[in-house]
């Protein structure tokens, strides 16, 4: 093979790899299957919180949301639910929506089909045991998915959810940086006439059993900033099921849906 052919082959492989990475990791991509991103009303905002429940930050966040009478969507890690079932229960009791964020927070893109099913079904059972609620929504950790990951979620009665605002609250940018990221993206979404689905975190996959993990204080402050500014602009806060065509799932099918 001559140098030109090698260059063409390398470029083709690079494009294919780039396309696969986009389909598998980009939050708004629909190439590997439909996922909920957001609705078409730019006045609607869905604040979502991943990686909880956390015994330090989740209760503070719940109190903050209560002060503004705002309901949010919490994508819970099954291991954390089992460590802190009372906090998971409180999330539900305060009227918030809970979703499945897997049992141990792996990148499902690199997991076997059996591991994918186990991660989702075990998390489903953990949340149901703690709250009496069987989630109908699923967010893949890091947004990483393959077509079969999305199919498995749907077999288990779960609608996949991604996001269209990355607040980057895991980065050392402070509450001001998180707020700037959110506000800039809200402006873009309004220009594009679409709702806003904001990715934030009240916990971390690195949380220890006693709750020690990365600080989410900046996320709390950024959330307070969002709640204050959105109220002044008369924006509406919604939970993700606002954009879900069918949120019902029969608890009679738990054994069937959760079996390995």
pLDDT in tens, 232-241: 888 999 999 9
- List, for residues 33-70, the tens digit of each pLDDT value: 999 999 999 999 999 999 999 999 999 999 999 999 99
Domain boundaries, the chain: 1-31, 44-258
pTM: 0.89
Structure tokens at 239: 């939970």
Q: Please identify, in words, the CATH class of the domain defined by 44-258.
A: alpha beta
Q: How far apart are CA 215 and CA 225, in angstroms?
A: 18
Q: How far is CA 232 from the centre of its chain?
A: 26
Residue 257 has pLDDT above 50, yes or no: no
Q: Where are the alpha helices (DSSP H) in the chain?
A: 3-25, 57-67, 78-83, 85-93, 113-131, 147-155, 174-191, 217-232, 254-258
- List, for residues 4-38, the tens digit of each pLDDT value: 544 433 333 343 456 788 999 999 999 999 999 99
Residue 68's CB: how many other CB atoms inside 10 A?
A: 15
Query: Among candidates 136, 144, 227, which has minimal Cα distance to 186?
Result: 227
Q: How far apart are CA 18 and CA 23, in angstroms?
A: 9
Residue 111's CB: how many other CB atoms inside 10 A?
A: 17
Supply φ then ψ for residue 201, to 5 degrees.
Answer: -140, 130
SS3 category, 6: helix
- Give the residue numbers marked as catalytic: 50, 201
Instruction: Give the residue-averaged pLDDT of 216-243.
Output: 95
Residue 249 banded pLDDT, cuts 50, 70, 90: very low
């Amino acid at each position: 093979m001559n140098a030109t052919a090698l260059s063409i082959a390398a470029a083709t492989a690079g494009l294919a790899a780039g396309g696969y990475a986009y389909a598998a990791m980009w939050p708004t991509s629909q190439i590997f299957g439909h996922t909920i991103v957001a609705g078409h009303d730019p006045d609607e905002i869905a604040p979502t919180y991943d990686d909880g429940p956390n015994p330090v930050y989740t209760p503070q966040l719940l109190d903050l949301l209560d002060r503004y009478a705002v309901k949010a969507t919490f994508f819970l890690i099954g291991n954390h639910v089992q460590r802190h079932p009372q906090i998971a229960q409180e999330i539900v009791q305060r009227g918030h929506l809970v979703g499945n964020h897997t049992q141990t927070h792996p990148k499902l893109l690199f997991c076997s089909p059996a591991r994918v099913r186990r991660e989702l079904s075990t998390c489903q059972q953990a949340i149901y045991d703690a709250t009496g609620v069987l989630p109908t929504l699923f967010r893949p950790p890091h947004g990483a998915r393959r077509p079969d990951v999305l199919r498995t979620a749907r077999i288990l009665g779960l609608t996949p959810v991604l996001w269209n605002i990355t607040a980057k609250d895991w980065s050392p940018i402070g509450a001001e940086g998180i707020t700037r990221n959110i506000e800039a993206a809200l402006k873009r979404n309004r220009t594009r006439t679409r709702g806003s689905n904001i990715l934030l975190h009240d916990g971390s996959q690195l949380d220890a059993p006693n709750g020690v993990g990365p600080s989410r204080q900046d996320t709390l402050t950024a959330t307070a900033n969002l709640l204050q500014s959105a109220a002044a602009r008369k924006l509406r806060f919604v939970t993700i099921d606002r954009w879900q065509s069918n949120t019902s799932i029969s608890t009679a099918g738990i054994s069937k849906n959760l079996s390995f």
